[in-house]
Amino acid sequence: MTFLNRVVLTGKVVTPPRRHYRPDGSPVIQFPLELNDSEEVAGKGGRNRIDIVAIGKLAEFEIDLLQSGRHVMVIGRLNQRRWQTPEGKNRIHTEVIATSLQTIEENSPTQTSKKQGE
């Protein structure tokens, strides 16, 4: 049996991306994406958000295009990190490792896109 781990999301950039570098020098950007759900989350007025991580050449995406409020399409794979705090509590964080980022205008995609390896 073949398993597929592919995610396609559209949403709004919540906060400007943070850029940092791995110990090997490769760039990484991270930002939360607010999903365009029509329903409120658990009746609390919140929205679904998921962290997006872009690594390597994709992290060289023009960060100015990913400012707060900008609509983007993300293609990638789900990743789940698990760890234990010093207090012994188990933690899980789910994120999307992006393989493609594309800014979206109101009704049509723009020409601004980047895929991993470009």
In this predicted model, what pLDDT tens digit does every residue of 11-53 receive, in sequence order?
999 898 999 999 999 999 999 999 866 555 555 556 789 999 9
Distance (Å, rounded) from C-alpha 112 to C-alpha 61?
9
Q: What CATH topology corresponds to 7-101? A: OB fold (Dihydrolipoamide Acetyltransferase, E2P) (2.40.50)
CB 14 within 8 A of CB 71: no
**Confidence grade of residue 107 (pLDDT, cut at 50, 70, 90):** low
What is the percent of the chain with per-residue pLDDT over 90, rounded to a whole number?
57
Distance (Å, rounded) from C-alpha 74 to C-alpha 100?
6
Q: Which two tokens stand for residue 69?
A: 């409020």
How many residues are there in the chain? Answer: 118
pLDDT at 114 over 90: no
Residue of 80, 20, 23, 25 whose CA lies nearest to 54: 20
Q: What is the pLDDT of residue 111?
A: 44
Q: Which pTM value belongs to this model?
A: 0.78
Q: Which two tokens stand for residue 103?
A: 């800014």
pLDDT at 86 over 70: yes
